Amino acid sequence: MSTTGKKSWNWSLWIGFLFALAGFLSYTFFAQFPITRDFPWANLLFFAVGGILLVLGLFRAFGKPQVYRGKIFGAILATLGILMFAFFSYVFFYVLRQVPPSTGAPRVGQKAPEFTLSNQDGKEVSLSDLVGRSKAVALIFYRGFW
């Protein structure tokens, strides 16, 4: 016990919760990079560090309650951390895998179908017009959902 008789703050609980929160909220940042977009290893690393610190904080709070604070807040923060991890996992590993495949999209090397669209001035422009005026045309296909 400390010399003043007060209990010490259980910082590992709060830092662990912040790591879990960072793992939950940071996917929009990590989705910008191809290495972390397809598999969220950086987010899972945040969750792992947060989980370890939360477990350590819970052991301190319940193992040495005369020294450390955090029995109530520790249980609440650990539950919130588990719920954030469960929701993140459900969305990333289940819901996002339910997006139907784009079977109608052209494949790499396949000739693009003829189409006509309006340009920024409202004039009709077709693919054959663009190919006729230039040696190359860049087509960008957006998935519409990440």
Domain boundaries, the chain: 11-98
| Structure confidence at residue 2 as a pLDDT band (50, 70, 90) | very low
Torsion of CA 65, 66, 67, 72, to 10 degrees: 30
109-123 tens-digit pLDDT: 788 888 898 888 999
User: Residue 56: what pLDDT?
Assistant: 95
| Structure confidence at residue 85 as a pLDDT band (50, 70, 90) | very high
Q: Is 101 helix (H, G, I), strand (E, B) or coil?
A: coil
* Residues 79-96, mean pLDDT to the nearest whole number: 94
Place of tokens 């996917």: 27
**What's the whole-model pTM score?**
0.67
